[in-house]
Structure 1
């Protein structure tokens, strides 16, 4: 029962009539990676079988951020990016539940009876093999299945997916990005990993070197490996090939970490603009050079390598 519209419902509230008695694909969905996409596909298939709309049921903030507020979480897709990816999956909408003390205190039984059945009147559910819910994470996929039998709704459980020996998970993708393995991360995500940020003023040093850059200050919890990357930058709906350096510029100042993006064959002004950068290849680690000539020679080589990777992307 897929439609071209995508409705976002915030909190425990009555659903619009068109979304009544939905099938819910339930999870945190950080990254909306291939494992998550399989859960969404299972939900869509069940919704089609039952003739019901299919919605994602997700949580904000990420539960880990609620339980560990002092530990900044490297989010693969902050809420706007997550909702955009859920929309792209072909769902009819998403329910965003605030993850707070009240929700954390609900028993698994109460979550099913009060939220899934009582508030949303679900017709069916799809979850991943590792989905846990309720107070102290006491609810498991098997428990949800048994509750489904009791309350009269079917539950589909999606098994683990593997990529190069890793179980596809948000944690595995974060680890890959922390190691500069953007190709491995992309295979697990089903698309290149990307981030959005606003272009800020830098020290204009790149311009003097013949490599003007768009400078982006990333949130400190983004643990991307320092180094040089082949990237694509999208601004105002147009995507450009580019090469990027993420790090602290050891040849110059060892300052705060910045993502510096040199957009090929581009001459516009990007200051203050919101841009999206997607990562297509890792070229090398960040290095310190003895002189400017050595640095420029390496930048020339990096640009050629990035163009070659992006030509095949």
Structure 2
């Protein structure tokens, strides 16, 4: 899948496509249905299937730290879209300046003149342009003017429940990982390169593999029983616990996943690790001393091992 970073990198060869626009956060089963339909329609018309997303996501610009937590990182989103057969991913930089463009300019300049869209699929609640003046009705008018096909993407329901990123975030907040897996069509996970940390876990007797959470807001916080494996080696899975958060006892400044894996002592620095939360053990909290933290971690490990049926 070709990655186009920014409008300035749209070339003449990119003209003519079937396009869908959205955040596609999590690439859940609803998103998957939209993308499969896009790819199918693109193939029927002998066109490349293109997905347009915005970075940062619009609410992250307007609401900043109050924006909804991201379900997936950009890298994960890229991989999921690629696996669904998308030919090109266009990443448009979103800013206050970009948001000031008129709806007509967005359609005429970007969609028609630069991308040459022949087929467009968006939600019927899609808004765009300055003050969100553009909507599906605007696109229906533009469709007649510029001659492209337009379709609304229907909401996808699973067990009579609408699948959405908002509902996914709620299930994550509730640590309902079974429902999350159903809506995603796969297990929720953190995937990242193992980095050096403060080595506090090693000092306490619990060596950890640390992943930096490159998200504005994380959908999970607390201590969890987890399964983890080195990417591309999913057959070798290890049980463990992980703290997901800011490490208040250590005055942490970065949002991290700190995973302590049972019966594992290899060097993971620089490798990509996949961490799948299975059960929430407790909320993250600040302790008065490192001894108090160590005592609690021992209790967390005991509970996680009991969950996995492992001997003490």
TM-score normalised according to structure 2 size:
0.80
- Residue 121 of structure 2 corresponds to 126
Alpha carbons of structure 1 residues 144 and 229: separation in structure 2 relative to 1, 3 Å: farther
- Residue 3 of structure 1 corresponds to none
Deviates more, 1:46-55 or 1:194-203: 194-203
Check whether the contact 2:208–2:260 (CA below 8 A) recurs between aligned residues: yes
Alpha carbons of structure 1 residues 118 and 253: separation in structure 2 relative to 1, 3 Å: closer
Alpha carbons of structure 1 residues 303 and 253: separation in structure 2 relative to 1, 3 Å: same
Alpha carbons of structure 1 residues 142 and 271: separation in structure 2 relative to 1, 3 Å: same
CA RMSD of aligned residues (A): 3.4
Runs of 4+ in 1 over 6 A off after TM superposition: 287-295
Check whether the contact 2:238–2:264 (CA below 8 A) recurs between aligned residues: no
Check whether the contact 2:124–2:152 (CA below 8 A) recurs between aligned residues: yes
Alpha carbons of structure 1 residues 307 and 125: separation in structure 2 relative to 1, 3 Å: farther
| Structure 2 residue corresponding to 1:178, chosen from 173, 191, 199 | 173
Alpha carbons of structure 1 residues 207 and 153: separation in structure 2 relative to 1, 3 Å: same
- Residue 311 of structure 1 corresponds to none
Determine the C-alpha separation between the residues in 2 that align with 1:36 and 1:53: 18
Determine the C-alpha separation between the residues in 1 that align with 2:217 and 2:202: 26
Determine the C-alpha separation between the residues in 2 that align with 1:102 and 1:290: 50
- Residue 101 of structure 2 corresponds to 106
Check whether the contact 1:7–1:92 (CA below 8 A) recurs between aligned residues: yes
Check whether the contact 1:131–1:140 (CA below 8 A) recurs between aligned residues: yes
Mapped pair 1:243 → 2:219: no
Check whether the contact 1:31–1:76 (CA below 8 A) recurs between aligned residues: yes
Mapped pair 1:230 → 2:226: yes
- Residue 191 of structure 1 corresponds to 186
Mapped pair 1:81 → 2:76: yes
- Residue 135 of structure 1 corresponds to 130
Mapped pair 1:266 → 2:267: no
Equivalent residues, number:
297
Give the secondary structure class of the aligned counterpart of 1:126: strand
- Residue 153 of structure 2 corresponds to 158
TM-score normalised according to structure 1 size:
0.79
Alpha carbons of structure 1 residues 144 and 231: separation in structure 2 relative to 1, 3 Å: farther
Report Cα offsets for 1:181-235 as digits up to 9, x if no partner. 2222222222222223433333235873xx6432445467214142323333334
Determine the C-alpha separation between the residues in 2 that align with 1:79 and 1:287: 26
Give the secondary structure class of the aligned counterpart of 1:238: coil
Check whether the contact 1:248–1:255 (CA below 8 A) recurs between aligned residues: no
Alignment of 1:15-26 (within 5 A): 15=11, 17=13, 19-26=14-21
- Residue 288 of structure 2 corresponds to none
